Amino acid sequence: METLTTSLARLRFDNRFTRELPADPLHGGTTRPVNRAAYSRVQPLAVPAPQIIAWSPEVSAQLGLDDDVWTSDEAAEVFSGTRLLPGSDPHAANYGGHQFGQWAGQLGDGRAIALGEVVDRDGNHQTLQLKGAGPTPYSRRADGLAVLRSSIREFLCSEAMHHLGVPTTRALSLALTGNQVMRDMLYDGNPRLEPGAVVCRVAPSFIRFGNFQLFAARNEIEELRLLADFTIRHHFAHLLPAGAPAAPVAEGEAGLGPDVYAAWFAEVCHLSAAMVVEWMRVGFVHGVMNTDNMSIHGLTIDYGPYGWLDDYNPEWTPNTTDAAGRRYRFGHQPAVVQWNLLQLANAVYPLVGEAAPLEEALNGFGDDYTGRYRGMLRAKLGLVTDRGDDDDPLLHGLLEVLGATETDMTIFHRRLGELTVADLTRLGADPGALSAPEALGDAWYDPGTVAAEARAAAAAWLADYAQRLADEARPDDERRAAMERVNPRYVLRNYLAQEAIDAAEQGDTTLIGTLAEVLRRPYDTQPGRERFEAKRPDWARNRPGCSMLSCSS
């Protein structure tokens, strides 16, 4: 193997997943059922013209890579899958899952190949995974590749979510491959060739609910136990009882025990509640919340047909496949997370041996989510006191105002923070003044068409809100600063991602970098970048990619 001349040579692999868990005895990407195995070893495809077009400086630094590595041929080769690093152990994970509420059996990494686990600058393990690097045993009838369109969306959204403070997997790099990939974007019988690309994703692990589900569904209980022990030992070590063995427990021996498995499940419930509250805070809609797309770390994973709320609409889903049932619509996301957790509970039940602790954790999810959600809404309004159920009229009233007319959720909350208590009191007494840009006019998509009853309801709510703020007597500037810490000015609006895609497909990748830079500081005012905080333009209202997307990539 040719010697590396860049900081890539410093990456140190410690591949615990492939070292400690059962492997598929066959190698290679031929589609097949894979039993009693957590993964299959498979090689990424070499590509004809690899080129890095974007990278995350924060993730790069965390891995100990120098900035100049990204202009090297070595980085392009490694992070496109064309060249393997010493110590890597490329593999695709085996898992199943429920898709749109129906058990789908074996699914697995059909277009993702993990290079292995590296130790970062803080001594933590990070899995490097290439999305779009070629076929695996789990690709079914697909080619295992990805196109530039979906890869740009994944790269930008992974990093945008992190800087918003939302738990997420990360994106290290985005590479062109030089290949052309055939895709039917709308599933309408009109496929076209698109530029191929690969994203390198980074996370402590890519273990999903579906990894446990597949073992349980096949009654592969020993493998289920090995996976649970691995997960807890390496990723939830604080749950280990005193004296628990530091090394993996051998096959056929007793595992960590029912109490530890139950405590781990409860923590996954807790992490999942924290994640989905953050989705609701920033207006993110995942779009395809199948159980195989749920991380046991409580991280947002698999950025496919996601979208951001432009106008506040709890019924909106960005996924064309979900258009009829709207299972994964914005307002239903917390309920879907709980349903998915129920499926995980069913999978780990053989390890726990009784339903009561699992049911307790599932019920705890509901209480945890409700408490966090109320607290999140109070924070978005700049409130410092918790009045319990007495807050409900004000909080529910906020959502009614947002939904009564086409209202940009992101702009609404920023404008609200800019208004003083005196301003809010005045507007509460004068519904006609609400259309001014400095009031709610900027947040309404068409202020001139807002019905009189909607204006009156908004004014009444503002009056109640102003009174609540007056009761708290929090200085306006202090409240505004607090609101600006939780209400972003910039999010990855659907049309902005599509503009970056359109330009990149014509050979201009500048907007990818500009958007990435804007989204690194989503809460700050950035002079000269006002266009990135503007409402969705009318041309984007129904355009594919700006309104709804398919799962095609």
Q: Which residues are catalytic?
A: 292
Q: Which of 136, 94, 89, 95 is nearest to 117 (CA)?
A: 89
Q: Cα–Cα distance between 502 and 148 in angstroms, integer?
A: 10
Alpha-helical runs (H) found in 247-355 = 258-282, 333-352
Q: Which of helix, strand or coil describes residue 96?
A: strand
Per the CB < 8 A criterion, the answer to whether 296 and 206 are in contact is: no
Q: Cα–Cα distance between 346 and 362 in angstroms, integer?
A: 11
Q: Which of 518, 494, 530, 488 is nearest to 165 (CA)?
A: 488
477, with CB counted inside 10 A (0-12, 13-18, 19+), is: exposed
Compute CA distances 221 → 245, 251, 441, 529, whole Å.
21, 11, 59, 55
The amino acid that residue 552 corresponds to is S
Please, what sign has the CA dihedral across residues 53, 161, 14, 111? Answer: negative
Q: Cα–Cα distance between 392 and 398 in angstroms, integer?
A: 10
Alpha-helical runs (H) found in 383-473 = 392-404, 409-418, 421-429, 452-472
DSSP states of 439-461: IIITTBS-GGG--HHHHHHHHHH
Please, what is the Cα angle at 275 between 392 and 465, to 5 degrees? 25
Residues 6+ apart with CB under 8 A from 210: 95, 96, 97, 107, 290, 291, 292, 294
Q: Cα–Cα distance between 111 and 274 in angstroms, integer?
A: 28
Please, what sign has the CA dihedral across residues 260, 366, 298, 197? Answer: positive
397, with CB counted inside 10 A (0-12, 13-18, 19+), is: middle
